Amino acid sequence: MTQNEAFDILKLDLNATDEQIKKAFRKMAMEFHPDRNESIDAKSKFIEIHEAYTFLLNQNSKNYSDIKYNQYRRYADKTASNSFRNPKHNFSQSNFSQPNNQSFEERYENARRAADAIFEEKSKIIYQKVFDTYMQSNQRSWANFVAVFSLLLSMLFIADNFMPTKENYTGIKWFSEYSSYFVRFQNTNYEVDKSFYFKNYKNLNAVYFQTTALFKDVKYVKLINQNRTEIVLLDLGLSVTTTFPIIPLILLFPLISLFMEKPTFNFVFFHININSYVIPAFIIFLFLSNNRIFKLFSI
C-alpha cells in the first residue's frame, strides 16, 4: 500500500492532518464495523480502513522523527567531527508491512481494538464538553435546588409514615363501570375484583380508615356494615403507604447524584436529565395526586 492509496481508502486529501485522519477513520470504522454492518465484505473493508489509518499515522510519525533527526544531525555536524551513526534505520521499514505476516483474524482484532479505542476517545471528549457546559449553566443550579427540595420532601414522607394516624369513619358507595368494580369514599375510588364486589356490596355500607398526619394518605381501611358486626379489610393496592419506603428513596436520587458528578455516559445522559426533568415531574405528580399539596397546608 502506498501513501496515496491510504489517503484514497480514507477519502482524504494528501495534506490531511492527524486529526482529520482520525476523524475519517472513526466515521468509516463506524460505517463498516461488523457489529453494525452485516455485509459480506464488511470485515475486509474494516481491516483495510484500519491499516490505511495506521499506515498514515505511522508515516506522519516517521516524517516528524526525520525532521527531528535532521535538526539534531545539523547540530551534531557543527559540534563534533567524529562520524555519527544514522538512527534512521529504525524508521526505514514501514510498520504497515507487519499485518501481512498476521492472520486475517489477528488483523481484524487489531482493527476492532483500534476502532474501540478511538470511539472511546471521542466519547470522552463529548462527555467532557457536555459536563463542562452543564457545570457552568443554570441547569446545575436548578438540579441543586431539586436535590434540596427532594430531600426535604423525602423527610416529610418518612416522618408522615411514622407519625400517629388519624381515625375516620364515613359512608361508602359501590358502583361498577366498564366491567370494573369500585368502592368510593373520601372522593377516591378504590378498585376491587368482581367476586369481592358481589360478595360485599349489599352488606357493607360504611368504612373505618386511618390517614397519615401530614399528607392524609389512607394507611388502613376496614369496610363494615351498619351494625359494625361484619368487618372486611380493603386491599389498597400500590400506594404511597403500601410501597413505603420506595418513594422517599426515589426522592433522594438527586442528592446522591451530586456526589457522582463526573464526565461519564451515565451522569451526562441519565443523571442530568433525571434530575432536571423526571424528578420535578414526579414531585408535581405526588403533590397533585390525592391533593397532597392542599392537604399538607390544611394541617
CA distance 147 to 170: 39
Q: What are the DSSP E strand ranges found in the chain?
A: 166-171, 173-177, 180-185, 188-192, 206-211, 218-224, 231-233
Over residues 52-65, the pLDDT tens digits come to 888 888 876 555 44
Cα 143 to chain centroid, rounded: 16
pTM: 0.62
- Backbone φ, ψ for residue 97 (5° rounding): -75, -15
Residue 69 pLDDT exceeds 50: no
Q: Does 177 map to a domain?
A: yes
Query: What distance in Å separates the CA atoms of residue 251 and residue 262, rounded to the nearest whole number?
Result: 21
pLDDT mean over 131-157:
94
Other Cβ atoms within 10 Å of 196 Cβ, number = 16
Domain boundary among 233, 254, 287: 233
Q: Taking a C-beta distance cutoff of 8 angstroms, is the pair 134, 272 a contact? A: yes
Are 148 and 181 in a shared domain?
Answer: no
Asked whether residue 98 is assigned to any structural domain, the reply reads no
Domain boundary at 59, 83, 102, which? 59
* Range name among 41-50, 94-103, 152-161, 171-180 with the lowest pLDDT average: 94-103
Q: Are residues 254 and 148 in the same domain?
A: yes
For residues 208 and 55, give the distance between their C-alpha atoms in angstroms, rounded to a whole number. Answer: 81
Q: Are residues 277 and 136 in the same domain?
A: yes
Spatial distance between the Cα atoms of 5 and 236, rounded to a whole number of angstroms: 72
Same domain (yes/no): 151, 282: yes
Looking up residue 38, the CATH number of its domain turns out to be 1.10.287.110
Rounded Cα gap, residues 152 and 31, in angstroms:
49
> What's the confidence (pLDDT) of residue 74?
47
Which SS3 state, helix, strand or coil, does residue 198 take?
A: helix
Would you state the cell numbers that stand for residue 84, as one nine-digit string? 555519527
The residue among 193, 212, 233 that closes a domain is 233
* Same structural domain, 276 and 135: yes
Does 254 map to a domain?
yes
Reading the block at residue 27, the C-alpha cell is 466515521
| Domain residue limits at 272 | 130-158+244-297
Is 93 part of any domain?
no
Residues 287 and 142 both lie in one domain: yes
Give domain status of residue 109, yes or no: no
Please tell me whether residues 169 and 209 are part of one structural domain: yes
Same domain as 2, residue 140: no
Number of domains in the chain: 3
Q: Quote the cell numbers at residue 134.
A: 452543564
153: nearest Cα among 213, 237, 220, 215:
215
What's the confidence (pLDDT) of residue 230? 66
Q: Are 218 and 186 in contact (CB under 8 A)?
A: yes
Q: Does 152 share its domain with 276?
A: yes
Q: Are 144 and 257 in the same domain?
A: yes
Is residue 182 over pLDDT 50? yes
Do 228 and 169 sit in the same domain of this protein? Answer: yes
Per-residue model confidence as pLDDT tens digits over 209-242: 888 888 888 888 888 877 666 677 777 767 888 8
- Do 154 and 205 share a structural domain? no
